[in-house]
Amino acid sequence: MTRRHATALLAGLLLATPAASQTAADAHAALARLGVASPNVTVTLISATDARYRVQTARDRVTVTASSPVAAVRGVTAALGKQGRFHASWEGNRVGTLTGLTTQDSGWVTSPFGFRAYLNTCTYGYTTPWWNWARWEREIDLMAVHGVDMPLAMEGQEFIWRALWREQGLHEAQLGQLFAGAPFLPWERMGNMAGYRAPLSSNWIEKKRVLQKQILARVRALGMTPILPAFAGYVPEAFAKAHPEARIYRMREWEGFPGTYWLDPSDPLFAKLAARFLKLYTAEYGPGRYYLADAFNEMVPPIADDGSDTAHASYGDSTANTAATRAAALPPTVRDARLAAYGKRLYASIADAQPGATWVMQGWLFGADKEFWTRDAIAAFLRDVPDQRMLILDIGNDRYPGIWKQTNGFDGKDWIYGYVHNYGGSNPIYGAPDFYRRDIAALLADPARGRVRGFGMFPEGLHNNSLAYDYAFDAAWPGGDMALGPWLDRYAHARYGQSDEALVAAWRDVVAGVYDVRYWTSRWWNQRAGAYLFFKRPSADAPTYPASPGDRVKARAGIEALLGLADRHRDSTLFRYDLVDLVRHEASLALDDHLKAAVAAYQRGDVAAGDRAAARITSLARAIDQLIGGQQETLASWIADARAYGDTPTERRRFEEDAKAQVTVWGGAGHLGDYASKAWAGLYADYYLPRWTMYLSEARAAARAGRPVDDAAFLKRLHAWEMHWVADGRSYRAAAPADAVGAARAVMAQVAQP
């Protein structure tokens, strides 16, 4: 039989064998929710070993044959997008008429990746703590548009943890101090801290239980394979104290939070708790195939210098996490034996309780704690886990690239390649399309890639930089010219309803000037977080703040060109949205320039120059705040969503304070303040501007007195102000400007002033 005949026979078998556990109705329902009328679409599902679809358009009808409902939705929306008839994003949908469709046949489109993964454990703190079913339903449909079929599904687990620890004897008062506030739960789940801003409302736990059932029912119906939580070893302090004989280690104080407690997998209690958690979870939510257990997220594994703690460890006396360099310097045989035992037993705790299941872990630790996780340490940790029963999410290739190369494709383990892109939900504009295209192509061409099973985007927060995610997921599917010019033409046509050479040229400048940045390096500077200098806590080092990533000249040229084209797109809400966002970003960089100038002027005693720069900061910050009042998220919307989750005045007030704390002070005694800073209306005018105004007033007074600012004393006063702001209960409103394009032009005019 020739290869051609074999291929034809395979195609015939695929077409003849429908997928038994999925239905075309689920694809139709998702398309209908997205605005694509079902009478115009015919869906046929087939059985296949890979993700594939074929879309044919003729006589104003769309016919799709696909391997799953997800693939069908991806195929139909991609085909309509190429004809400028459909676009869906966080900012909104645009659905054109389905009449006058061009006759086309995509042929079989097959993803080179077995899975397209999505979400990050941290997304459940930075973005989703206040989501209801309507918002989750929309996100799942957007996943299908991008062909995502392996989402992390982390909602609803506190219901199971609570049941588990009740069985283990914790009383209600102890449970009340166990769970962190809703936006901080991801870091409790990963063992970084515990009980911060406790107690967590029982009503919130119950709502998330119901929500997780809805989420899992929908993703399973669409043919997605969710990644579910598992026990990674972290136990409550009360449990640790009740079991002094157990091998429980006091872990390091992550970001200044009190140390947490980790149960050694060699202790008999570990397998017992792991199995019980999965039994309770399965009874409530159904069985899974992939289970996430991150034991050492930014936590160095406990390994004593001589290995004696393996046999004699008791509560509170562990030498864990004293320093990564100290642990890395241990005799390799000691370190490797401990790491191999940890890996083997973590896997066994899942496989024994759920036969056939796969242990999933995020590979972030291998880059973030690279002083400990040497090549040999990684190999030891993975060594005794069956290759096809482990899945490593290699999420940090835009921040810590090349870990998979250093480990020979994770030594034969199954793994998924991808990018975090967004950190903390903060929203400077960046995300390098050409890097994604070249990087993914290089991966697929590399024979040393090992058992790479998928591609994913793993953002810590959502609702920003849709272009970057659209491009990256398009790159994970063949079926279109991914060179930037042709792709931008298709993107603009689908998103705005029309495109031309001038629009593409403007967007090319925008991408070159703004987006073409792999990682926003300045978001972490001098031990302070914050997307821009304006978002960071003020201090005397402001004049040394580095230039922002990107090309400001090309950025401004692209923005000005888009402003010049605005009349052609006056009816496109998505065009206006993008224009406002780009202007906001460029104006924020200009704010940073003025801050540097103001502080420098006061430091050299030039009060007049400092006053001029300070006045421009005030004017521009308020103008930005008004400009972005109609964007998807604002401080007002974040607070309103939080309060809507509450059933009592006390709950509503508590959720509001937790929400405000998340995007500002965060918590701990480390460096997390402003980590989740947001470019939102309300925060510019009412949080970031007052902080800098306070500092500039101090700097002005110091300049007149001929002395430096006492930064330590100022930060103490500032911290008190921040804590008061979190709890002040002030109401916020946000509204779009009556003329968004006019407001954007006015802000850019301010930016352009010398």
pLDDT of 331: 82
| Share of residues in the chain with pLDDT > 70 (%) | 94
Average pLDDT, the chain: 93
Cα separation values, 357 from 218, 283, 413, 417, Å: 21, 16, 15, 20
Our measurement of the distance from residue 363's CA atom to the centroid of its chain's CA atoms, rounded to an integer in Å, reads 15
181-214 residue pLDDT tens: 999 999 999 999 999 999 999 999 999 999 999 9
Residues 427 and 356: their CA atoms lie apart, in Å, by 40
Q: Which of 228-232, 260-264, 300-304, 436-440 has the lowest mean pLDDT?
A: 300-304
Could you tell me which residues come within 8 angstroms of residue 342 by beta carbon, excluding any fewer than 6 positions away?
A: 265, 295, 301, 381
Residues 184 and 97: their CA atoms lie apart, in Å, by 44
Name residue 358's beta-bridge partners: 290
For residue 326, count other CB atoms closer than 10 A to its CB. 15
Residues 642 and 662: their CA atoms lie apart, in Å, by 11
pLDDT band at 316 (very low <50, low <70, confident <90, very high): very low
Residues 181 and 176: their CA atoms lie apart, in Å, by 11
Dihedral of CA atoms 131, 133, 137, 143 in degrees, nearest 10, equals 40
- DSSP string covering 602-620: HHTT-HHHHHHHHHHHHHH
The DSSP secondary-structure symbol of 535 reads G
Strands (E) located in 165-313: 227-229, 234-235, 248-250, 261-263, 290-292
Residue position matching structure tokens 């521009």: 620
For residue 64, count other CB atoms closer than 10 A to its CB. 27
Cβ–Cβ < 8 Å for 693, 555: no
pLDDT of 754: 84
| Best CA proximity match to 520, nearest among 403, 399, 697, 412 | 399
The DSSP secondary-structure symbol of 520 reads -
Quick one: average pLDDT of 346-350? Answer: 98
| Best CA proximity match to 617, nearest among 525, 501, 719, 753 | 753
pLDDT of 330: 72
pLDDT of 112: 95
Give yes or no for residue 61 having a pLDDT over 70: yes
Q: Which of 225-234, 346-355, 478-487, 716-725 has the lowest mean pLDDT?
A: 478-487
445-498 residue pLDDT tens: 999 999 999 999 999 999 999 999 999 999 999 878 999 999 999 999 999 999
Residues 154 and 345: their CA atoms lie apart, in Å, by 23
Higher pLDDT, 676 or 669: 676
The one-letter amino acid code at 561 reads A
Whether the CA torsion 324, 662, 364, 423 is positive or negative: it is negative
* Residue 694, token pair as written in the block: 């306070």
The DSSP secondary-structure symbol of 340 reads H
226-252 residue pLDDT tens: 999 999 999 999 999 999 999 999 999
Residues 275 and 430: their CA atoms lie apart, in Å, by 43
The secondary structure of the chain in percent helix, strand, coil, rounded to multiples of 5, reads 50, 10, 40
pLDDT band at 708 (very low <50, low <70, confident <90, very high): very high
For residue 723, count other CB atoms closer than 10 A to its CB. 13
pLDDT band at 328 (very low <50, low <70, confident <90, very high): low
14-31 residue pLDDT tens: 333 333 467 999 999 999
Give yes or no for residue 310 having a pLDDT over 70: no
pLDDT of 131: 98
What is the pairing mode between strands 109-110 and 451-457?
unpaired
214-224 residue pLDDT tens: 999 999 999 99
pLDDT of 332: 85
Cβ–Cβ < 8 Å for 523, 426: yes
The DSSP secondary-structure symbol of 261 reads E
Helix ranges (DSSP H) in 497-572:
501-510, 552-564
647-669 residue pLDDT tens: 999 999 999 999 999 999 999 99
Give yes or no for residue 6 having a pLDDT over 60: no
**Which domains, and CATH codes, for the chain?**
3-110 (3.30.379), 115-482 (3.20.20.80), 503-752 (1.20.120.670)
Asked whether the bond before 258 is cis by omega within 30 degrees of 0, the reply is: no
Quick one: average pLDDT of 159-181? Answer: 96
| Best CA proximity match to 70, nearest among 40, 99, 129, 113 | 113
Q: Note the pTM of the prediction, 2 decimals.
A: 0.94
pLDDT of 327: 60
pLDDT band at 10 (very low <50, low <70, confident <90, very high): very low
pLDDT of 480: 80
pLDDT band at 37 (very low <50, low <70, confident <90, very high): confident
pLDDT of 100: 94
* Residue 434, token pair as written in the block: 């050409």
pLDDT of 317: 33
Residue position matching structure tokens 């043919």: 223
pLDDT band at 69 (very low <50, low <70, confident <90, very high): very high
